[in-house]
Structure 1
Amino acid sequence: MMAKEKKLEIGAINITIQPHTPDMYLKLFREVYKLKTPIKVSGDQFAIIASIHKLERGQVEPGPITGDFYRYTAIDPEAPWFDLKTGDFADGSLLDEINIPENLKPNGARFSYIFYPKEHLLFYESYYDSKTFGAMSAERFVRNLLNQPSILGKYGKIDVTHIPSKDKLNDALKMPTKEVIELIITRPNGDTLGKTQKRVMDRMNALNVETYEESYKAVQGRSIDVDINLKTMAKIAASNGKVSIKGKDSNSKPITFSTTEHPLKKKQYFDPNVQDAFSVLIELSSKLKDEIVKWFRS
């Protein structure tokens, strides 16, 4: 009898240090791992980088690294406890009986990751074994993880952008009526960019500009014409910042688009008797890495 197929879904995050080398990215990840700092993801949800090691034991540095992120619920020991039997808050005598070791955390979930230092792209499991790690949560976790005070002092601000869906961005740029287009660009890294994108980065560096914003507003009653230059700038912002578009569809109904609401996700179903989840993660991330780099450089 054939085993029931499992689903694995991954997301991709672009990480940028200025200036940088692949070795610096590896050093950065190893330093934040040693800190073992729990990072708040949302509400009472926290995450931590639990492990880090080479993707292949005998690989030549600087090669990809892998490991696990763990997410869990942090219980506030000072918060009141509710008693389902009495329908009221628990009294002190019951609370005295509660003894949960500080090192144990409930609702744990594990998500594997692979980071490619040369392309500065991180791929993570966004869905596996009925557990999800949403794009916004993953981006927030990685940004806060890499921008801890002690890390900022050594590396400066580290920009983190979840890669959006290329197809959704292209569809948005073809919106029948584009009334407003807003671009926010953080300094990209030139090694994965085409000539036009590298010129943008060089100019931002020359002007000591950390963030660059452009806003386009259409003539009343008309639509913005997206030329090759605007399309290129939108691609840079999509992978290093944010793109927002407001307009109307073919029925003149108002619509909005934001790259933050359309993260890139890649899923694959597999037979657990034939293939394990980690090998699928390697396969998907390697393929997606090449696709993203090609998109950046085109």
Structure 2
Amino acid sequence: MRPKRMQVAVLNITTHPHTPAQYIELFLRAKQERVVGLAHGDRHAIVSSFSKSTSNDIELWTGHLNSFVDFDPKAPWLNVERGEAAAPNEVASVQLPEDLKPSMKQAFFAFAPQSHRFVFELDSGLGAHSVCRAMRLILNNKKVRGELPEVTVTIEQERETLERIFEMQTLKHLRIMVTRPNPDDFGDEDEEIERRLERQRARKLTLTLDSEKGQGLTPDDETRKLARLAMSNGRVFAEGVGPKGPQKISTENHPLIGTTLYNAVTTLKDVAFVQAAKEVLTSVFTKVRK
């Protein structure tokens, strides 16, 4: 039997102030309150389970993110046989229980409270941007967030995309957006930006550089540090000229994807997912320090 492939992506979830226990409490409340977040279109998501994993080498909490289709039953209905709007008496016969939702899909997720990273399965039909949107809405719901300030949710992005930006033959425009990081993630670079934003009571920092006419940008070390930080805490957008002509690159369109292969006969899917989560978390913290 050919091995099965599993792909995962990662979100960075940050609060200020923050402790591992505080992050865990956020997810426990999200599950308890059954808060729903819009993912895309009519598809919504909910944290349906959340419990501590039995993993020994890293603290992980695992669960399921369930998505489903929700719609306004009072909106116009279509009678497909007649090809026209359904009559009021036809719609009146439709009874939809409030606690039943159609088109359910389920994805594994794992949360590492020490690094506040949320790893989720991509094979369930929800992409990285959809999950990011849903989790941002869920965790910032007043029932979940409580008295905390805004919970920031960002996509962990490929470092290779940033390399492509800095390797452009002519870099004409560079925009870096960084939200306030947790200073214990990656050392001095995080601490410096975190203190700078805190002093100015700022939630995020945006740096925009445009080149002189007929010239290309030459980003210095400080700009490159800020861009690296944005791979976990923001995004970078660039315009310039590459080997094949004009280019526009947004790192947000290139999430970090972890891929693992497993034998479905000998390995349970949830076990394979936990292994994939550990591998991608290792990748995040190895690449960012390079």
Q: TM-score, normalised by structure 1?
A: 0.91
Q: CA deviation at 1:7?
A: 2.5
Give the match for residue 262 of structure 2: 270
Q: Secondary structure at the match of 2:108?
A: strand
Tell me whether 25-34 or 156-165 shows the greater mean CA deviation. Answer: 25-34
Counterpart CA distance in 2 for 1:173 and 1:72 is: 41
Question: Contact 1:194/1:297 (CA < 8 Å) preserved in 2?
Answer: no
Gaps of 5+ in 1: none
Of 79, 82, 85, the match for 1:83: 79
Give the match for residue 248 of structure 1: 241
Kindly provide the amino acid, as one letter, of the partner of residue 22 in structure 1: P
Q: CA deviation at 1:236?
A: 0.8
Gaps of 5+ in 2: none
**Aligned ranges for residues 110-125 of structure 1 at < 5 Å?**
110-125=106-121
Q: CA deviation at 1:116?
A: 0.1
Of 226, 249, 252, the match for 1:257: 249
Give the match for residue 25 of structure 2: 27
Give the direction of change, closer, same or farther, for the CA distance of 1:20–1:102 in structure 2 (3 Å limit). same
Of 135, 140, 160, the match for 2:133: 140
Counterpart CA distance in 1 for 2:72 and 2:38 is: 13
Give the match for residue 281 of structure 2: 289
Give CA-to-partner distance per residue, 1:154-209, whole Å, 9 cap, x none.
Answer: 11111111001111221222111111111111111111113133211122112221
Kindly provide the amino acid, as one letter, of the partner of residue 210 in structure 1: R
**Aligned ranges for residues 59-78 of structure 1 at < 5 Å?**
63-78=59-74
Kindly provide the amino acid, as one letter, of the partner of residue 174 in structure 1: E
Kindly provide the amino acid, as one letter, of the partner of residue 187 in structure 1: R
Give CA-to-partner distance per residue, 1:41-90, whole Å, 9 cap, x none.
Answer: 22211111111111118x79x93211001111013211222222222222
Q: Secondary structure at the match of 2:94?
A: coil
Of 18, 42, 48, the match for 1:44: 42
Question: Contact 1:185/1:211 (CA < 8 Å) preserved in 2?
Answer: yes
Q: CA deviation at 1:153?
A: 4.3
Q: CA deviation at 1:29?
A: 1.2
Counterpart CA distance in 1 for 2:164 and 2:11 is: 21
Of 201, 206, 211, the match for 1:218: 211
Kindly provide the amino acid, as one letter, of the partner of residue 45 in structure 1: R
Question: Contact 2:240/2:247 (CA < 8 Å) preserved in 1?
Answer: yes
The count of aligned residue pairs is: 290
Identity of aligned pairs, percent? 25
Q: CA deviation at 1:152?
A: 4.2
Give the direction of change, closer, same or farther, for the CA distance of 1:5–1:84 in structure 2 (3 Å limit). farther
Determine whether 1:197 maps to 2:190.
yes
Counterpart CA distance in 1 for 2:184 and 2:79 is: 58
Q: CA deviation at 1:6?
A: 2.8
Counterpart CA distance in 2 for 1:197 and 1:74 is: 40
Counterpart CA distance in 1 for 2:267 and 2:221 is: 43
Kindly provide the amino acid, as one letter, of the partner of residue 27 in structure 1: E
Q: CA deviation at 1:24?
A: 1.0
- CA RMSD in angstroms, aligned pairs only: 1.9
Q: Secondary structure at the match of 2:184?
A: helix
Give CA-to-partner distance per residue, 1:111-151, whole Å, 9 cap, x none.
Answer: 11000000110000011xxx321111011011111111244
Question: Contact 1:192/1:296 (CA < 8 Å) preserved in 2?
Answer: no
Counterpart CA distance in 2 for 1:246 and 1:216 is: 11
Q: TM-score, normalised by structure 2?
A: 0.93
Give the match for residue 13 of structure 1: 11
Question: Contact 2:13/2:153 (CA < 8 Å) preserved in 1?
Answer: yes
Question: Contact 1:186/1:240 (CA < 8 Å) preserved in 2?
Answer: yes
Q: CA deviation at 1:278?
A: 1.3
